[in-house]
């Protein structure tokens, strides 16, 4: 139900709101959009997949609303030496996925341990997700002048 210019943030986010509400009603905290078999984005988050120690995320295009947190996570991952490939992940590759995380301004980097009925990895946040969360938080603390203190 998402329209074809997803990169434009406008009042036309009603499909996102309705999809998010549908997810909440059945016990999930986010809704993942799939277009032509490819994961694109979530109702209010960008989505990242880890397979073979490489992070995959849908490239910026008309099919996603790219976020500033997404851009910073990609930068931090690359600066850390983690390989990032911006290409769509097909739903047929879910068996290869060892980690999933989502990003948005409110939740920052949030691990996903279940996709529908499927457990991801061992059901706990994966190592790349944990590394990125730690580096992201450290960067925010330094920018705020907290020098690594909890906020």
Please state, in angstroms and as integers, the Cα–Cα distance from residue 140 to each residue in 38, 70, 73, 120, following that order.
32, 14, 12, 28
Non-local (6+) Cβ contacts of 14 within 8 A are none
β-bridge pairing 118-119 and 114-115: antiparallel
Q: State the residue for tokens 């210019």.
A: 5
* From 5, 9, 71, 83, the catalytic residue: 9
Please say whether the dihedral angle defined by the alpha carbons of residues 109, 85, 120 and 128, taken in this order, is positive or negative: negative
**Residue 9 among the catalytic residues:** yes
Non-local (6+) Cβ contacts of 33 within 8 A are 2, 19, 39, 40, 41, 42, 43
- How far apart CA 32 and CA 99 sit, in angstroms, is 15
Q: Supply the residues annotated as catalytic.
A: 9
């Amino acid at each position: 139900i998402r329209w074809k210019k997803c990169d434009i943030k406008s009042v036309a986010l009603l499909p996102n709101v309705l999809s998010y509400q549908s997810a909440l009603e059945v016990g999930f905290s986010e809704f993942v959009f799939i277009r032509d078999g490819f994961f694109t984005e979530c109702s209010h988050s960008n989505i990242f997949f880890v397979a073979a120690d490489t992070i995959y995320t849908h490239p910026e295009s008309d099919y996603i609303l790219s976020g500033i947190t997404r851009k910073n996570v990609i930068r931090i991952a690359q600066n850390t030496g983690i390989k990032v490939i911006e290409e769509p992940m097909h739903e047929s590759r879910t068996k290869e996925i060892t980690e999933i995380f989502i990003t948005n301004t409110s939740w920052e980097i949030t691990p996903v341990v279940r996709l529908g009925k499927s457990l991801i990895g061992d059901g706990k946040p994966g190592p790349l997700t944990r590394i990125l969360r730690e580096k992201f938080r450290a960067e925010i603390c330094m920018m705020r002048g907290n020098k690594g203190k909890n906020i």
